[in-house]
A and B are shown apart, each in its own frame.
Chain A
Amino acid sequence: MASKLFLLMKSPHEFTGLGMMKNLAGQDRSAVILFEDAVYYAVDKKRGSELISAVKDVYVIADDLAAKGFEGKADSGFKVIDYPAAVDLIMEQFDQTITL
């Protein structure tokens, strides 16, 4: 089976595909990178914990988090990364990249 890296841009209140994400991931190694409005997951206790329980690792793009006023405020369990780290995840760490 293939390891999967999900990319998410939608806010926690706009994104309705968490069940789909779990179904796509199955038992395979999976993670998600949060871009743009999706970074609000990192400060949304309820939906953030649901997301963390769905995949192995959750990464947050630092500049989007800072732009929205939450620099240094991501809940524990969210790994704040820059674009070079995102590229490394995409190119080297996972088999497939799936935008939801």
Chain B
Amino acid sequence: MASSILVLITKPPYGYEEAFAGTRLGLGMLSSGNVEKCSILLVGDGTLNAIATQRPEAVRMPSNMEALQDMTDFDSKVYCVRSDLEERVGDVKTLGFIEMIDWETARKVLAEHEMVTTF
């Protein structure tokens, strides 16, 4: 009987629907009252969702930034592996509500959740 689930986002924004869909899943879990804890961890290309200067209206897509921020309304955490982001685009401005972490911390976050689902 799981009471916690981690949403692991590995896909970049505005191409695949995955990052948005993963966040919606997270919100669904949190709003249900059935699942106590749900966090989001951005890894690999998924870290590109943490970039603060995204302008999704340019491609008429809903904002992944807003969707991720909605998680914080439930006191839920959004984490991003800093090294994966830097490896891809260097040192860029990231969204303030996202906690930038290293891989060792990411593994601890992983261990705090019973289930993991990947997007």
Contact = CB atoms under 8 A, between A and B. Distances in A.
B8 interface: yes
Given A20-B10, A96-B116, A100-B10, A1 B111 contact: yes
Contacts of A98: 8, 116, 118
A96 B10 contact: no
Nearest to B8: A98
A18 to B, nearest CB: 11
What is the interface residue range for chain A against chain B?
10 to 19
B103 interface: yes
Contact of A23 (B106, B114, B116): B106
B107 interface: yes
Contacts of A95: 114
Contacts of A4: 110
B115 interface: yes
Interface in B37-86: 43-44, 81, 84
A2 B118 contact: no
Nearest to A20: B44
Given A17-B44, A97-B116, A100-B118, A24 B110 contact: yes
7 contacts: A2-B111, A4-B110, A20-B43, A26-B107, A97-B116, A98-B118, A100-B118
Interface of A: 1-2, 4, 17, 20, 23-24, 26, 28, 95-100
